[in-house]
Amino acid sequence: MHPASHSHSSKRVAPETPPDGSPHSNREGAKRRSGVRIKRAYEPRDPRDGRRVLVDRLWPRGLSKQDLEDAVWIRDVAPSASLRKWFGHKPERWAAFRRRYFAELRLNPAVKTLQEIIAEGPVTLIYGARDEIHNQAVALGEYLGGDTEPAEEVDR
């Protein structure tokens, strides 16, 4: 079977491990998942960002449209309002949030739009959440990289 003939492979793609050895960050502060950078919308633009894509359903608090004028906003790739509210950025709900969000993403046509942008060159997913580990941009990066099954030990 040709790799492009199915959308979800059981193969897991390991995220790039940064030089500092931490699983989620690199020296510049942006996380990497699935070949894309991930960082907060409040961080300054970096030439390595490539195309910046805001993946929040709501505009980041305190930022103007001019602050993110170079970013494309794909709000429809964000979790549904009900899932976002249920999650509430509570780390203990992370594994369940990821499962539910991945189920939404599997049926979401906005994912194809995002994948097309990623295919064009470097991309940075930007988000407004304070928590840099438990947020939809991190989950989305994992999903795009094929890491769609939460680790068992996190699911408590």
Structure tokens at 30: 């942006």
Distance CA 105, CA 111 (A): 7
Q: Where are the domains of the chain?
A: 23-147
Coil vs helix vs strand at 39: strand
Does residue 52 carry a pLDDT above 70?
A: yes
Alpha helices (runs of H) in 24-92, residue ranges in sequence order: 81-87
Is the pLDDT at 86 greater than 90? The verdict is: yes
Higher pLDDT, 156 or 97: 97
108-139 residue pLDDT tens: 999 999 999 999 999 999 999 999 999 999 99
- The rounded distance, in Å, linking the Cα atoms of 37 and 10 is 23
Q: Are 68 and 126 in contact (CB under 8 A)?
A: yes
Task: Specify the 3-state DSSP secondary structure of 135.
Answer: coil
